[in-house]
Amino acid sequence: MATDSHQPMNFALVSRVLVSVAAEVATGVQRAVVGPANVRTARENAWDAIQADRARAAARAETARAVAAMLADRPAPSHRLRAAKRGTSLAGTR
């Protein structure tokens, strides 16, 4: 009796084949549109993401420094100003 070496097609196998074919088609279209020398790689994408993260961190740090400088340059509120905010008078405290 001969054994059948073919396995039945299951959903997972069909899905893998379809994804593989779709990836090959997408890669082929990208190469045709931008040219083989300009095809993006995962390494280039990762490096661009790292650079963008560094730029955002630098912008956050600069904003924090600017806010700290503004707060440091602000004059301290006087006793009269604090009393006016509370709605009390300094005349009764002296």
What is this structure's pTM? 0.47
Total residues belonging to the chain: 94
**pLDDT beneath 50: ranges in the chain:** 1
Q: What angle do CA 70, 71, 74 make, to 5 degrees?
A: 85
Half-sphere exposure at residue 45, Cβ-oriented, CA atoms within 13 angstroms: 4
pLDDT of residue 28: 92
CA dist 90 and 79 (Å) reads 8
Extract the tokens encoding 74.
Answer: 């602000």
Extract the tokens encoding 94.
Answer: 């002296």
Extract the tokens encoding 71.
Answer: 């707060």
pLDDT of residue 81: 64
pLDDT of residue 83: 66
